[in-house]
Chains A and B, each alone.
Chain A
Amino acid sequence: MRRTTGFGLLAVCGLLAGCLGQSQEGDHARNADAKEITLTIVANAAAGGKNARGANWLQNWVIPKFTEQQKAKGVTATIRFEQNGTGDEDYKTKVALDLKTGGGGDIIEIDGIWLGEFAQAGQIKPLGEVVGDTDWDGWNQIPKAVQGLGEFESKRYGVPMGTDGRVLFFNKKLFTQAGLPSDWQPRSWQDVLDAGARLKTLPGIYPIQLNAGTAMGEATTMQGVLPALAGTGKPIYDNGKWQGDSAGLKDVLGLYRKIYGGGLGDPVLQQEANGRQRSFQLFSENKIGILLESDYFWRSVVEPKNGVAKMADRDTAVGWALVPARQAGAGVGGQDFVSMSGGGVRVINPNTKYPKQAWEFLKFLNSKEAVKESLAGTAQTTQRQDVNDEVLRGDPMLTFIAEKVLPITRYRPGLANYPKVSAALQQATADIVSGKTPDDAARAYREALAKAVGEQNIG
């Protein structure tokens, strides 16, 4: 009896060992001639909720059009749209679990920065391996820098969905009340702090919102630490090394300290479970003066019709300015102003039953017609140059992004270790918000960094 149990355990262990790290190899010509296909597209978008415009586009335009197109070829296509409307971290977890268990949709929208981890885990594969021939005239329309969002270790994994840039948004109504100019453009961090001090004289408002803490996740890194760090002259990853507790990092943490220790920002908001959402709400209610965000804020948050925190008077009430370096000329590459950019990527699940059709669908999603339609009359820096040339002219904010911000912007390092470094940076700002000194927070960050990437990789 005991021996049987022993064997049983052994067998179970063997089985278990087989379960870890498995991956499925497929032939990219499988089901190429199927007459009936089903494809699922997964996005962090939901009708009437998060990224509602994208959701409407998929549901009401893409799916009927593509189905029709396939029908003309004699193929019955059923396209499903799996909607999500959650925080980016939760969405990532969900996609990772889907891919890990061999499931998930056929086409998945992910943040470009997750590409490295997923690729290293074998959960996504280079496009060529999945679908075979990746020739497409659309590639010519996608600028090289934007294409880079869909690449990892110089292999192409997916098609980018456009890009964005980061600026300081400010409430012109509050600025007027505080006697500040409505064409405000700070030239140093001190200028921003000074404007904050002026805004502080108005009752019941928080002058500056610079995302901090772990609850905001990547939004803290992207709309807080990284733009500030770029303003100190050195990006987070440089010459193969991650930046440790450098003078620049301490300056950044010092800036956080001045904002959250000096009553210029609301430390509690940074720690609340839904702080970012709330900061949007407060801005739209004229309770936040200055807020660092990507043009997403303009397009999808305070957007008067479909935004998640609509501002009916957005066009007159919301101003924008370039993010200044610590002081003029102190930014990366000697720049006076800085920005960070990112963007989504659509990838094809290596486990898809219909690789050829999925690629066809992906090309359709990125066709000029589809991309233009996705904007639904609004503007956005899309992946396609031909579309941008036509649509950006109509929107002053996005023209500003395209002309002034994208030329000076930087991208995050697309490395698998990046999310861990990002988490350590978020923790450092959380420490500041809860009262630690920049030196202590920087020391703790350095320890976390060494644990995450190894001592030898810190510069």
Chain B
Amino acid sequence: MANRLDEGIDSAGLGVRRGLAFVAPALVLIGVFLVFPALWTLYIGITNYQLTGPAAANPRVVGLDNVLTAVHDPLFTNSVWLTALFVLFSAVIGQNALGFGLAWLLRSANPWLRRTIEGLVLLSWILPGTVVAFLWFAVLSRDTGTLGLLLGSPETSWLVEYPMTSLIIFNVWRGTAFSMLLYTSALAAVPPSQLETARLVGASGWQTVRDVVFPHIRGHVLTNTLLISLWTANDFTPFLLTSGGPNHRSEVLPVLIYRQALEGGELGYASAMSLLLLLGNLVIALVYLRLLRRRA
């Protein structure tokens, strides 16, 4: 039994001890920078720890009070709802559809057109968040904002009047590149002979996508959706654009947690909320994994 185990895990022939020595530095790093903070967050989440004031000097353990308060806090439920909208429209629908659409259309496009478009889409993905936020601010702000000038309504402050819509469009723009790249490579895996056959029997574009392409890339779709959903749910860029405002109308969970923790000083409460966000992420991940397994 022990022998078989050794053979199983010791494929490099180093011996388990030496193998462990090799991974130890990585494990230490993970422990210090990932496991320790995570456990600490869990611990703070059950206290009334604050940034300043008496509870900063002598925090008390309050058990699950924070979690219960959060569940009944209208700000929290509002935030969960906004996060769900944000993920659904900007990631699951927006980035997926646009990313696939671009990959599908660019398949047969002339190479320089294809590269130019891919380059532009990628640019929005690789620019630093603060730079991008500043650019969008310039586009969407009032009086001198580009969008207002183009549409002839310089009075509209888009980020204030349509905060969630602005954020969703922003995030589609920002994140589509990943979906596009992933689908481009996934589409390359669809056998050309099958596409040709579909064309010969007179299948329409949509029929081809549904009956020929999709069965091949189903796994890619799920993986892509999983990744972009999680990234979007945890994305902090909305803070740079609207700071959660106006009046909490764009306060997605990461922004709410930040504001509660650092602006409100409620470190314990915010930690409890981040635990809930983590649980939410886990649930999303489990659903996708279940779907993936069903395919197999």
Residues of A whose CB lies within 8 Å of any CB of B are 9, 12-13, 16-17, 19-21, 23, 89, 93, 96-97, 100, 114, 117-118, 120-123, 213-215, 268, 271-273, 416-417, 419, 423, 430-431, 433-434
B160 touches A271 (CB 8 A): yes
How many angstroms between the C-alpha atoms of A430 and B49 in the bound complex? 28
> A215 and B243 in contact (CB under 8 A), knowing A12-B36, A13-B43, A272-B160?
yes
How many angstroms between the C-alpha atoms of A433 and B44 in the bound complex? 36
Q: Does B231 reach chain A (CB closer than 8 Å)?
A: no
> A273 and B243 in contact (CB under 8 A), knowing A13-B39, A416-B52?
yes
Which of these binds chain A: B86-94, B190-198, B262-270?
Answer: B262-270
Residues of B within 8 A of A17 (CB): 43
B245 touches A120 (CB 8 A): no
A21, chain B: closest CB distance, angstroms: 5
Residues of B within 8 A of A19 (CB): 40
How many angstroms between the C-alpha atoms of A123 and B39 in the bound complex? 25
Q: Does B8 reach chain A (CB closer than 8 Å)?
A: no
Residues of B within 8 A of A273 (CB): 159, 241-243, 245
Q: Does B285 reach chain A (CB closer than 8 Å)?
A: no
B51 touches A93 (CB 8 A): yes
From B58, B159, B247, name the one whose CB has the most chain A CB atoms within 10 angstroms. B247
A100 touches B56 (CB 8 A): yes
Q: Does B246 reach chain A (CB closer than 8 Å)?
A: yes
How many angstroms between the C-alpha atoms of A215 and B141 in the bound complex? 16
A117 touches B53 (CB 8 A): yes
Residues of B within 8 A of A20 (CB): 44, 47, 49, 59
Q: Does B57 reach chain A (CB closer than 8 Å)?
A: yes
B263 touches A89 (CB 8 A): yes
Contact residues of A: prevailing secondary structure:
helix
Task: How many A-B residue pairs have C-beta atoms within 8 angstroms? Tell me.
Answer: 92
Q: Does B95 reach chain A (CB closer than 8 Å)?
A: no
Residues of B within 8 A of A12 (CB): 36, 39
From B39, B49, B51, B246, name the one whose CB has the most chain A CB atoms within 10 angstroms. B246
Residues of B within 8 A of A271 (CB): 160, 245-247
A59, chain B: closest CB distance, angstroms: 26
How many angstroms between the C-alpha atoms of A433 and B249 in the bound complex? 13
Query: 20 extra interchain contacts, Cβ-Cβ under 8 A, other than A268-B157, A272-B157, A430-B246?
Result: A12-B36, A16-B39, A21-B49, A21-B59, A23-B57, A93-B51, A96-B52, A117-B265, A120-B52, A121-B52, A121-B54, A121-B57, A122-B56, A123-B52, A123-B56, A213-B247, A215-B246, A272-B142, A272-B160, A434-B247
B56 touches A121 (CB 8 A): yes
Query: Which A-chain residue is minimally distant from B156 (CB atoms)?
Result: A268
Q: Does B161 reach chain A (CB closer than 8 Å)?
A: yes
B76, chain A: closest CB distance, angstroms: 14
For this complex, 21 residue pairs linking A to B, each with C-beta atoms less than 8 Å apart, are A20-B59, A21-B57, A21-B58, A97-B262, A100-B51, A100-B56, A117-B53, A118-B52, A120-B53, A121-B53, A123-B56, A214-B245, A214-B247, A215-B243, A268-B157, A272-B159, A272-B246, A273-B159, A273-B242, A430-B247, A433-B247
Query: CB-defined interface of B239-274 with A at 8 Å, one 1/0 digit per residue?
Result: 001110111000000000000001111000000000
Residues of B within 8 A of A215 (CB): 243, 245-246
How many angstroms between the C-alpha atoms of A96 and B52 in the bound complex? 7
Query: Which A-chain residue is minimally distant from B73 (CB atoms)?
Result: A451
Query: Which B-chain residue is minimally distant from A427 (CB atoms)?
Result: B247
- 4 closest A-B pairs by beta carbon, nearest first, are A271-B246, A121-B56, A117-B52, A122-B57
Residues of A within 8 A of B54 (CB): 120-121, 416
B216, chain A: closest CB distance, angstroms: 43
A310, chain B: closest CB distance, angstroms: 19
Residues of A within 8 A of B141 (CB): 272
Within 8 A of A (CB), among B38-94: 39-40, 43-44, 47, 49-54, 56-59
Residues of A within 8 A of B265 (CB): 96, 117, 419
B201, chain A: closest CB distance, angstroms: 56
A202, chain B: closest CB distance, angstroms: 17
B264 touches A423 (CB 8 A): yes
B56 touches A21 (CB 8 A): yes
How many angstroms between the C-alpha atoms of A431 and B247 in the bound complex? 7
A279, chain B: closest CB distance, angstroms: 13
From A272, A417, A419, name the one whose CB has the most chain B CB atoms within 10 angstroms. A272
How many angstroms between the C-alpha atoms of A423 and B266 in the bound complex? 13
A395, chain B: closest CB distance, angstroms: 33
B249, chain A: closest CB distance, angstroms: 8
